[in-house]
Amino acid sequence: MLSIRVSHENDKEGILYLLKEEGIENIDLDDNILHNSMVIRDGGKIIGYSQFKEIPKENAALMEILIVKKEFRGQQLGDGLIKSVLNLVDRRQIKKFYVQATNKSALFYKRVGLTKRELNRSETIVKYINSDGSKDSIEVYEAILPDFFNKACKSKT
C-alpha cells in the first residue's frame, strides 16, 4: 500500500539508501530536515523523497530534492509527492514555493501547475538558490499559496 507522509526519524536509513541509489550522497538528515521532508512508502520501502528549506524572512520555501525511485517513475507519484509538499507548506502558512528546474525537470513542474518565473538577482530569495552568478536572472518554477490549489489540476489522469 502506498502512503505519502512527513518523514520520521525511523525513515533515515531508507531515505539515505534511496538517495545513494540515485547518486545523491553526503546528505545530513537532522530533525529540522526531516520536519521539512516527505516520503512515499510502498509497504515498508521508501520509493520517493522530497526535501525543502523554509525561508521565514521571505515567507517562502525552496525545494531542494524531489526524487522517485526509477522503476516507479511515470506513475504520477512525483505529482502526488510535490502536491503533498505544497499542501504541507500551505498548512504552515508559507505563501511562496520555489523550485529551480533543470531542462529535464522543467516540463514536470509546469505540468503539475507551477508557474515559470525569472527571479531578478536583486530579489532576496536568490541568495538561497544555488547559482553560478553568471546570469542577470535565475529561472525557477513558483507556486503562490493557497492560490495554487484554486487552479484546475494539470496532472495526467
Superfamily in which the 2-150 domain is placed by CATH: Gcn5-related N-acetyltransferase (GNAT) (3.40.630.30)
Q: Identify the residue whose cell numbers are 528549506.
A: 53
Question: CA nearest 112: which of 89, 143, 91, 87?
Answer: 143
Q: Rounded mean pLDDT of 4-8?
A: 96
- pLDDT for the residue 103: 86
Q: How much of the chain exceeds pLDDT 70, in percent? A: 93
For 77-123, what is each residue's pLDDT tens digit?
999 999 999 999 999 999 999 999 888 899 999 999 999 999 988 88
Statement: residue 155 has pLDDT above 60: no
For 7-17, what is each residue's pLDDT tens digit?
999 999 999 99
Cα-based distances in Å from 26 to 5, 20, 56, 67, 122: 23, 9, 25, 16, 31
Q: What is the mean pLDDT of the chain?
A: 91
Pair type for strands 60-68 and 45-55: antiparallel
Statement: residue 134 has pLDDT above 70: no
Q: Which three cell numbers stand for residue 153?
A: 489540476
For 64-87, what is each residue's pLDDT tens digit?
999 999 999 999 999 999 999 999
pTM score of the predicted model: 0.89
**Confidence at 157, pLDDT banded by 50, 70, 90:** very low
